[in-house]
Every structure is written in structure tokens, then in C-alpha cells.
Structure 1
Amino acid sequence: MPLALRRKPKTVTVQQIHQDKPSGAPTQRQNKRRSSGSPKGQQPQKRAAFGDIANAKLIRKDDGKKKGTTVTSKKSTTIQQALKAKSLAVKAKPEVIPEKVGEVTDDDDSLEIIMSQGSSQESSSSMSPSSSSQSSVSSSMTENSDEVVLMNHKNEERTAEFDIKDAVAAISLQETPAYDDIDEENKGDPNQSPIYAQDIFNYLKERELLTPIQSYFEKQPEVNTHMRAVLVDWLVEVQENFELNHETLYLAVKLVDRYLMKKVVTRDVLQLLGATALFIACKYDERCPPALDDFKYICDDAYERQQFIDTEMAILRLLDFDLGIPLSYRFLRRYAKCAHASMETLTLARFILEHSLMESQFLETRDSKIAAAALLLAFKMTKTGEWDATLVHYSSYKASELMELTKQLNSMLTATPNKQLMTIRNKYSHKVFYEVAKLPPVDVLQL
């Protein structure tokens, strides 16, 4: 029996999808996916983020500059002994010694090639034409031997560096007090990668040192701390309306800060920069990212479609397409899992951490440290946990090292909120988020 012929499906090109409607036809907006499940049940509002401060004067940066907090670890005597033993055990490769041209000495794991320049000059003056060819051959052999020695030296340094890291890691594990293996219970679930979880977060901590963020307000003549706070507040509103992941919000703020650290922008394109950074973060982290027209709509059609595309290319080129940035929210979830924190305590720590995004004083603070301080402050506000040995092991921070940053976060919550920047407080004042924004801060005497 012959098969029934099917009608050929219609093909739509990309140009037809993005083709604008005729000017005479009325424009109709389709109801795209919005925040039907948001706490307020509201539709996304299109507004210009800086429309309310169009005539405001620029607020200059404070004279007092916050110093970046660093954590220094003291090496114990056992670590020094292990490192010394490792450095002595590294020398296992044969050395290539040059012939009577230089002396090679091995002192403190370093090679110094001392060339006898005076003797070489005297020998060159008394050299006959017949021995010139032999001297050129010997000099070339000497140069090759010197290069081999230097290459062996570099390889030995790299091997010693890796061995030192392994020795320090092994000794630190032995000296750490007893802690709970939080990945043991997930070894049967490959989706959570329990075998590589600790290595992943160790890599993120190494990335923190390679991608630091420095204060850039002295380089930006038209951007100040208040305007950055307004932009972050608007990004939180967009994230809530579009029901985006929290990682998407934190990544967007990081992209904005890293771009402003390297490029001077004007005031009129700051919202375009924030919206485009959020658009890039959605592509990186969301399963179903919103369309570009959604971001154009949410900006009240203040920018054209091509402006978004050009800004996206400019951000990616300037950052060298490096989007794997360590985020404080990822560290917070890891630490909360270590402490087996309740959902209410975790939500309170999320509120503290998200509120700190608007504060420029925490711009240079490491993400892993501010996440640990936010969780410690949540423990003290709810009185539901302590900073035990497990948290010390997985965060590499002691409670005493986090106390100064915890006081700064508590002062942030104690300060009178700005009426123009209430999106985060209103968000976490809903019952869905356990109304954690209404909890009182900790008394300063109790910290």
C-alpha cells in the first residue's frame, strides 16, 4: 500500500523571525513568559533604571578607601620540615656540565652559571686563524649545554613547586581537626559530582586570586557608588520578574564590575551595560534564557536591538570570553551544606549576601570570604549554628578571621535603608522567603 504524501513543512528563515513589522501595521506584544510564580505575582515593569535620578548631582566617592582584606597563614615547623625534605628529594635528574667555560654551582636549589669572561677574552686575542673554527664549534656546544642546564633547572623548579603544593595539602589534612565528609552521602549520585566537588571549589579559590576586582570609581568620571547601587537594585528586580537563577544575577554584577574596571563608560549607557551583562549571564547559566526583545522591553525601549548586540560583543572581547568567574553565591551554598543549615538560615544568609552586592565597600572582598561571613552572621542572628571544624576545613577561614567582615555586614543591615533601593528588602520580606528581611540585626556587643 503506498504511503500517503505529507505536506512539506514551511521553513522560516532567521531574517523572517527578526524582521520588523511594517510601519503602518499596529504593534502588538505577545505575552511571553513572565514571573507568574513570583511572590508579588506582578508582571515585569519596563522603566529606565536612572530615570529618577536624571537631574541628580553626581555623588563623589568617599575619601576613606576600604582596604582589601587578606588572610595570611603561618607555616608550622612540621610543614617546613616536610618542604625541606621534599626539596632535597627533587634532585634526581642528571646534570649537563659545560666544558671549562663556566662553573655550575648548586646552592639553595638554584643554579648560577658563572662565565669566565676575562679568560675568554685573553684566549680570543691569542687565538690563531686555524683554531677559529674549533672555537666556534666549542662555543656553540657551550651555548647548547647552557640552554640544557637552564631548561633542566626550570623543570626542576616546576616539579618542586608541584611537590610543595602536594606536601602542604597533605600536611594540612593531617593537622586539621576531625571534620565531617559532606560529600560521602552523595557518592551514589553522579549529578552532584561528589568525587570532584572539593577539587572544583579549590580551583574556584585559586581563580579568586587570578581575577581580583579593584575599585574603579576614580577612573569613572560619570559613574559613582550610588549609580552602581541603583543599577544593582534594578538588576535584582529584573531577576525576580524573569524568575532567573541567583547565580545569573551574581554573574551579571561581576561582569559589570570587571567591565567598568577596564573601560570608561558614560552615564547614558550604564543601564545598557547592566542589561547586556544580564543577557550574557542568562546565556551562560539559564536553561531557557529570555529573548533579546525581553531585555529591550524591560529597558522601556530606550536602546535599539543592534546596541545590545554591539555591547555584548564589546563585553566578551574585553573580558576575553572568560565567564567562569567565582561567585559568592556558589560558596554560600557549599558552606550551608557543610553546616547542614536550615532553609530559613540559608535564606537569611542569601539576603545578607545579596544586599552586599549594592555596597561598594565590599567590592574588593573575596567572594569565598564574604560568603562565609554572611553565613556566620546568619548563625548569630538566628542562633542556630556555630562555625565548627567542618566549616573551617571546607572554607579555610576561622571564625576569628571573619569577625571584622561580619561586623561590617551587620552595620550594613543596621543602617537606615534608602527608599529608592528597597527591591532586595521587599523581596525578602515576603513569606516565600520566610520574611528574613524583618529580622533584627545582632547587637554590636554580642559580636
Structure 2
Amino acid sequence: MNTRKQKHQTGFDVKKSKAAVSQIHHDSKIHISGFKRQGDNMADPNQKRRPAFGDITNSIIENKGLVKKGEGKQNIPVKAVVVNKPKQAKTKKHKKENLDDEVIQLSQGSVVSSSQESNSTSDLSDTEINEQSLTFTVEDTEPEINTPEGVDNIDRENLKDIAQVALYAPFIFNYYKERELKFMVPMYMDNQPTLTTNMRSILVDWLVEVQENFELNHETLYLAVKLVDTYLSKQIVTKELLQLVGATSLFLACKFDERCPPLIEDFLYICDDAYNRREFILLEISIFKTINYDIGMPLSYRFLRRYSKCARASMETLTLARFILEMSLMEYEFIKYRESKMACACLHLAQKMKKSGEWTSTLEFYTGYKNEDILPLMKELNKMIASPPKHLNTILSKYSHHVFYEVAKIKALSSSEFS
């Protein structure tokens, strides 16, 4: 039996999914089918592995057998040194002997080659070697990140963690906030003759289902929804092609955010083969041209992760904020707000629902928003989770699981709790 068919036999109930969609909107031709995570794009086990930087030749030669006896291992600064050796004929018999003559001593910040001193034809014979130019040391003093008095310096503790780029994090997110204005999406639905806000909600609910079962990053989901809205605000799309726009946007987002994106065939399968490969690729080109090839869009999810760190929020509070933010993806009315403001409102609403903190001067400093700036948006979000759509429950089911602390079961705030 075909491997792909075997793989998808244990997917969702196709008939059940189609019946649910038909009940929601009879005119919509969005076909939702079952799927499992792709496995066809695994690396070929017979393919020769090439480790990172393995073929770079201008690195320090291995000092196995080259270091003088008795020296042992030493804690020395990292160096990048290339020694140009004289070209001379070597025989296998004298190979080891020649290597011993060209011992490289990596100690005390010095580089010594006996063949360089003895051979006048060497490329370095007429050049004086400067020790300081070959040695790169890390200073003991740490760079400072200055913050106003009363503001928690959240990046100072991670300065030595190169993965968190703490020294540049404030500049990165300030840059994101500047680029937000470039990617603001207008209210476009009135210009779409065959689409409705309910169809968009169905599509986003389906994208969340795909993201979960393909085990994609949350950033991929948010980018896909952003691409859908951006494309629909600039191009007229019929309802028959709406699912193709969603699937293609998710595929494009996978290429940007995922290490191993699913195959086109996987996306065609989950669309119940309603489209072919050529249509998929042509729409991908169209979307990429429409966004002017600028796919590095600021996302509310990235802001939320940053701001939750600024608030030193617990994992449960962060998960509740993620649930609120993900629910807002289905609501068309929220596309008019800035991504950073959505993140702030969701985080502070989660804090109030969990009674886990207030909007401090630290959050004010890092986000640029005051409590009164986000309060109206918080009330809109609270109203949304107080009466969620009954027919679209993928996100509710997802965040009702114990893995997500069952945050979807937490009750919304009353109007008196906002005062």
C-alpha cells in the first residue's frame, strides 16, 4: 500500500469534519479533511551527512599529535589562525617528522612555527607577526543595559546567554514596533463580494487544527493568518479559493519559521484534493508578490512572549494570555489593532483573571503602553471569551487540555472587576 495512504488512514474523521463545516455555512465550499503530520520529508538515511563547518579549510589544524609533550590542556582564548606553510615536496616517510617540525604552540597568546623561522621562502618570512592581531580575548567587564530607576532590568541576567541576545533585545522589539505601521491591515471585508467574516473564522479555526496536527510553531500560525488578511485586503478572492489562500499562506509561513516544513502534497491532501499542485504554486507566487516579498512581519505572539518576560509572568498566566490571543485570531474586528497592543491587552487581562499582577512601571517602560491605553481593548477581549462561538471549538478544546493548564475553563471577568 502506498506509504502516504497508510500514513493518513489514522487521521481525523473526514465525514465528521465536512458535516461540521456544512452546518456552519451551507454556501461555503471549504473542504476540511483529516490529516496526520507529514513524514515524507525526512532526510535520506543513505545520504552523506555534512556537519556544519565540516568542510571549512581555513581553521586551526587539529593539534592531535602536534602539541609538545608535557604541555597538557590549557584555558586559552579562542583564536582563528592560518599558518601559510612553504610549498615543498613531502614523502610519507618523513610526514610525521615534518609535522613535528611545524609544531604550533597555542599558549600564552603566541603562535610559533619552526619552519617559518628556518625557511626564507615562506610567505610570512618578511612579515612581522603581531601577537595582538592574532589573539581575540573576551573582556571580563559586562556591557551595561541602563534602565530608569524603579524599572526591572530584565535583560541583565541573560547577558551571558548568546541565544537570548539580551544586549540587543530592546532594540529588536523597538524595531518591530516601528515596522508595525507598515503591516497594518485595513478592514477589507466590504470589498470582498463573496466572503463573510464567518467564513474567515472557519478558515482560522481550520488553520489552528492544521497547526496542531502538523506540530508547527505558534509563530507559523500567526504569520499565516497575517498573510491571509494582508492578501485579502489587496486581492479579490472567491469563496471557492479561500481555503487555498489559507493553506498556501500556512505553507509560506512554514518556509519562513519551520526547520522542516511539510510538503505541498500534504497541504493538497488536507484540502481534500480540491486543488492541484499548479494552482497551489501559482497562488504562492501571487501571495509573495502581493506582500512585496517582505515576510518578516511583526507578530503579536512574539510581543507576548517578550512582554510576559518583562512581567515575569508564570507559565500558567502566559498560557492564559496565549489562549486569549489565539481566540482573537478568529475575530475579524481585531485586525485593526496593532500587534503589540493586542499582546499587551491579552497579557494584562490574563494577569487580572489570574490575579497575578498589575501593569507596572517596568511593563510601561518596555511596552510603551499605559494601563488606560489598553483598558478598552481588554474589555473587548473579555467579552469575546465570555461568549465564544459554539460551532468553532478547536481552540477551546486545545486549551482545555491539562497540558495547557485547562486555561480555557477559567471564567471571564465581570464588569465590576475592571474598575
TM (normalized to structure 1)? 0.64
CA distance in 1, matches of 2:224, 2:372: 31
Contact 1:410 1:441 in 2 (8 A): yes
Other structure's SS at 2:184 match: coil
Aligned to 1:261: 233
Q: How many residues align?
A: 299
Aligned to 2:384: 412
CA distance in 1, matches of 2:151, 2:263: 46
1:323-362 aligned at under 5 Å gives the runs: 323-362=295-334
Q: Structure 1: state its 5+ residue gaps.
A: 1-25, 35-41, 59-172
Other structure's SS at 1:363 match: helix
Amino acid at match of 2:407: V
Amino acid at match of 2:336: E
Q: Deviations over 1:117-143 (max 9, x none)?
A: xxxxxxxxxxxxxxxxxxxxxxxxxxx
Post-superposition offset of 1:386: 1.3
Aligned to 1:195: 167
Post-superposition offset of 1:44: 5.1
Post-superposition offset of 1:284: 0.2
1:249-288 aligned at under 5 Å gives the runs: 249-288=221-260
Contact 1:345 1:382 in 2 (8 A): yes
From 294, 302, 311, give the equivalent of 1:322.
294
CA distance in 2, matches of 1:210, 1:313: 21
Aligned to 2:143: none
Post-superposition offset of 1:218: 1.0
Contact 1:379 1:386 in 2 (8 A): yes
Question: Which has the larger share of helix?
Answer: 1
Aligned to 2:415: 444
Post-superposition offset of 1:28: 5.1
From 413, 419, 425, give the equivalent of 2:396.
425
Amino acid at match of 1:29: R
Other structure's SS at 1:218 match: helix
CA distance in 1, matches of 2:255, 2:287: 14
Other structure's SS at 2:233 match: helix
CA distance in 2, matches of 1:367, 1:44: 33
Aligned to 2:67: none
Post-superposition offset of 1:298: 1.0
CA distance in 2, matches of 1:50, 1:220: 21
Is 1:29 the counterpart of 2:4? The answer is: yes
Post-superposition offset of 1:419: 2.6
Contact 2:28 2:240 in 1 (8 A): no
1:278-317 aligned at under 5 Å gives the runs: 278-317=250-289
1:344-383 aligned at under 5 Å gives the runs: 344-383=316-355
Contact 1:44 1:238 in 2 (8 A): no
Other structure's SS at 1:265 match: coil
1:43-82 aligned at under 5 Å gives the runs: 43=11, 51-53=22-24, 55-56=26-27
Other structure's SS at 1:369 match: helix
Other structure's SS at 1:274 match: helix
CA distance in 1, matches of 2:6, 2:315: 33
Contact 2:22 2:28 in 1 (8 A): no
CA distance in 1, matches of 2:385, 2:189: 24
From 181, 185, 194, give the equivalent of 1:222.
194
Q: Deviations over 1:32-65 (max 9, x none)?
A: 699xxxxxxx84565669544553499xxxxxxx
Q: Deviations over 1:352-403 (max 9, x none)?
A: 0000001111111000001000000000000011111110000001111111
Other structure's SS at 1:311 match: helix
Contact 1:43 1:241 in 2 (8 A): no
1:138-287 aligned at under 5 Å gives the runs: 177-287=149-259
CA distance in 1, matches of 2:162, 2:212: 31
Amino acid at match of 1:418: P
Contact 2:400 2:406 in 1 (8 A): yes
CA distance in 2, matches of 1:232, 1:177: 43
CA RMSD of aligned residues (A): 2.2
Other structure's SS at 2:193 match: coil
Change beyond 3 A, Cα 1:45–1:208: farther
Change beyond 3 A, Cα 1:270–1:52: farther
Contact 1:213 1:363 in 2 (8 A): yes
CA distance in 1, matches of 2:163, 2:409: 36
CA distance in 1, matches of 2:2, 2:159: 54
Q: Deviations over 1:146-178 (max 9, x none)?
A: xxxxxxxxxxxxxxxxxxxxxxxxxxx98x552
Contact 1:44 1:241 in 2 (8 A): no
Percent identity between the aligned chains?
Answer: 55
Change beyond 3 A, Cα 1:57–1:189: closer
Contact 1:177 1:389 in 2 (8 A): no
Amino acid at match of 1:278: L
Amino acid at match of 2:397: N
CA distance in 2, matches of 1:434, 1:53: 29
Other structure's SS at 1:419 match: coil
Query: Which one scores higher on RCO, CA 8 angstroms, separation ≥ 6?
Result: 1
CA distance in 2, matches of 1:233, 1:30: 25
CA distance in 2, matches of 1:409, 1:262: 27
Q: Deviations over 1:337-364 (max 9, x none)?
A: 0111111000000000000001111111
